[in-house]
A and B are shown apart, each in its own frame.
Chain A
Amino acid sequence: MLELTQWQFLKHIIFRPFEGYEDLRWKKSGSMAISWGIVVLLFLERFFYERFYGFQYYASYDKIFNIIPLFFQSFILFLMWVIANWAMCTLFDGEGTVKRIFVNSAYALVPFIVSSFIGIFLSHFLIMEEYVFIQIIGVVGFAWSLLLMISGIKTVHQFGIWKTLSLMLLTLIAMVAMLFLIILLLTLFQQMLIFVLSIYTELSYRIRV
């Protein structure tokens, strides 16, 4: 009876956090294209937040523009969240797949992104004393997104609330562990590369002499 397009589902979920995700699951709906779009928007939000915030609140360092941190704060962090959550859910007998976790998490980000964009927009018109309005909008958006995220993760794995919260906490810990491993791996590869290169240099000198 619930015949919704993908866009309508998005709206349905945002305004009905608990019912919406269940409906999405029931209908086996949810678009990867829209989800990727949301992640791209998250990236844009990071970019605008960094570069185009009202000067009276934040003076950005205009000399250098480095896209890597912004890229990390959006794409990498989100993908890590999805993968870590998927990896952790097996310990809890969750039934989510990577795709469903991805879709549910991405949909949950929408209020946060929207509130942040509103904040960036308003920051050009409000003065320092009126910062509280931006703060309120930001807090509301963040809380809304958090609620959606909890509901989304809860639904995708068919968990109870406490199990969901502990899974989310574990996911965060797993993300830190992943970061640690990535850095370790990069450093080791770097060491190895240097080692190989120095052997090559040494040999090339010997051969020349």
Chain B
Amino acid sequence: MGKAFRRMFSMVAALAIFVSAFAVNLSALEAYDPYSYDRWWDPIPSQVGYYADYFADGVTLGCGAFNEPSGMHVSRDGLIYIADKNNDRIVVTDIEVKTVVREMRAFNYNGEVVTLNKPSDVFVDQYTGFIYICDSDNERVVKCDTEGNVERFFTKPDSELYSDELSYIPSKVIVDKAGIVYVIVPSVTRGAVMFSPAGDFVGFYGANRVETTGEILANAFWSLISSEEQRGRSVRSTPLGFTGFDIDDNGFIYTVTDSQDTSIDLLKKLNPRGDNIIDSLGVDEAWIFGDVPPLYYSIHARRSRLVDVNIGPNGEINILDFQNGRIFQYDSECWLMFVMGGIGEQLGTFRSPAALASYENKLFVLDSRKNNITVFTRTAFGELVTEATVLYIGGFFEESLEPWQQVLKYDGNYRRAYGGIGAAHFGNLNYGEAMKYFKLARYQGYYSRALAGYRDEWMRSNFNAILTAVSILIVCSLTLKLLFKFKILKKPQIRKLFSYRGKSNA
């Protein structure tokens, strides 16, 4: 019996090993710890929304290694444009980053051959198909078609507004629907430089503000009472220039500013007038993008430095943190969805992340020191959250209930899901449940609204009871008063406890 049993046992064990070899490892082990923030903005372990799928570089593409690439753009027809800075070329690959579609080195400008010198960024106008290249060291932005025929250069503005001493080394470029070209020039602190489609300088766009810190206020005070000469020596308070921007389909421009000293205007959403309308997304001045600095041990924590922003297909705001090598994905209402990446040598981590792009369910991160592109693909959890978020933001609260509940099965700490479920209950006039979930999500404003509904409902359903109780009380007190008045009842001693004995004696 023992032998037979042992044989059977070993067969079962072998079968188990055989089967497990085929099991798909759904949650890939990442090189970093995925996290999120709980309702007190403490970091908390979470599920990965995107996993680092693979990487690609110039060698795997077969076009020669990249050399400090610094800009990347994914066009609407699914081509990736890479500005390979130190190789003076633009490499165009397919969306898989497997094959090179085109390599742009030489351009034809009215029969003349022109080349690039340290191109730092590239942008493809989704409406006209023109390619815009920041030809940094040639101090111009090149507008050309896909064949490399240059249509126009956008060179240093010849205007009173643009001082002669100010250099013009374009670093990033975008184009809006009307064909207006926005160029980030690092030396310009008054916002992006704006050109009309005809190539004329129009002005500056969307400058950052100077944060009112104690130092700035003190400087302002001293400048009031100091002489001209002293003033010249003091520190000028100028705003910081943008480091990256992107435009969404509605024509709103998102900018990021790389700074560890200031806390305002780090991520902005600009309307065509150049006003910051980020507060329309339910975000206030104190909203923190990137890593939330901890209350304690903050010496060891390094504040995020946002270097690039990218708007995803569903309006997700992806921002790239140079300091910690992380990508933060927010939904279009600025709620944190996922955090991924880190600093390191493994797949999914970076040394010097430079640019960020997205296409459907993929994220692309360009590393200018590893000289490669890391491709992130959305996980099942990520798909679920995205589905729920899209439904939620579209106002389909009831439809989003089911996916949010699924999300909670994956990650019970996923704060946004509680808010989503709360909103679904709120939409169904189910105020009690809504309050419970809004509390879990710490949505105080929504909780207040649910409470108002709950209160009204309670009052309405208990109105008769309340009215009866109040009238009974009134009748009782009146009767008692009358009984005391006509000395049918004597005031009990207990009432005397709080009345003045002295007064009654007098």
Contacts and interface: CB of A to CB of B under 8 A. Distances in A.
A1 B444 contact: no
Interface in A61-97: 61, 63
Nearest to A1: B502
Contacts of B501: 3-5, 8
A55 interface: yes
Given A55-B439, A59-B39, A63-B40, A128 B445 contact: yes
A134 B497 CA distance: 30
Nearest to B498: A11
Q: Chain B: interface residue count, which band? A: 20 to 34
Nearest to A57: B444
Interface stretch (B164-172, B411-419, B448-456): B448-456
B442 interface: yes
A8 B501 CA distance: 9
A12 interface: yes
A59 B500 contact: no
Contact of A3 (B40, B439, B442, B502): B502
Interface in A29-77: 55-57, 59, 61, 63
A149 to B, nearest CB: 23
A41 B397 CA distance: 45
A7 B448 contact: no
A49 to B, nearest CB: 17
A128 B448 contact: yes
Nearest to B501: A3
A61 B40 CA distance: 7
B502 A4 contact: yes
A8 B499 CA distance: 7
B163 interface: no
A2 interface: yes
B482 to A, nearest CB: 27
Contacts of B499: 8
A177 interface: no
B501 to A, nearest CB: 5
A7 B494 CA distance: 13
A125 interface: yes
Interface string B432-465: 0000000100101101110110010000000000
B444 A55 contact: yes
A199 interface: no
Interface string B492-506: 000001111110011
A127 B498 contact: no
Given A3-B502, A8-B500, A125 B455 contact: yes
A11 B485 CA distance: 26
Contacts of A57: 444
A3 B505 CA distance: 10
A63 B43 CA distance: 13
A106 B194 CA distance: 68
Contacts of A61: 40
B40 A56 contact: no
Nearest to A54: B451
B40 A127 contact: no
B103 to A, nearest CB: 55
Contacts of A129: 448
Nearest to A58: B444
A127 B451 contact: yes
A86 to B, nearest CB: 31
Contacts of B506: 1
Contacts of A127: 448-449, 451-452, 455
Contacts of A59: 39-40, 442, 444
Given A55-B444, A56-B451, A128-B445, A7 B502 contact: no
Contacts of B505: 1, 3
Contacts of A125: 455
A2 B502 contact: yes
B500 A12 contact: yes
B41 to A, nearest CB: 11
A125 B502 CA distance: 41
A2 B39 CA distance: 57
Contacts of B455: 125, 127
A62 B338 CA distance: 25
Interface of B: 39-40, 42, 439, 442, 444-445, 447-449, 451-452, 455, 497-502, 505-506
27 contacts: A1-B505, A2-B502, A3-B502, A3-B505, A4-B502, A5-B497, A5-B501, A7-B497, A7-B498, A8-B498, A8-B500, A8-B501, A11-B498, A12-B500, A55-B444, A55-B447, A56-B445, A56-B447, A56-B451, A59-B39, A59-B40, A59-B442, A125-B455, A127-B449, A127-B451, A127-B452, A128-B444
Interface of A: 1-5, 7-8, 11-12, 55-57, 59, 61, 63, 125, 127-129
Given A7-B497, A8-B501, A63-B40, 17 more contacts: A2-B502, A3-B501, A4-B502, A5-B501, A7-B498, A8-B500, A12-B500, A55-B447, A56-B447, A56-B451, A57-B444, A59-B39, A59-B40, A127-B448, A127-B451, A128-B444, A129-B448
The 3 closest A-B pairs by CB, nearest first: A56-B448, A128-B448, A127-B448
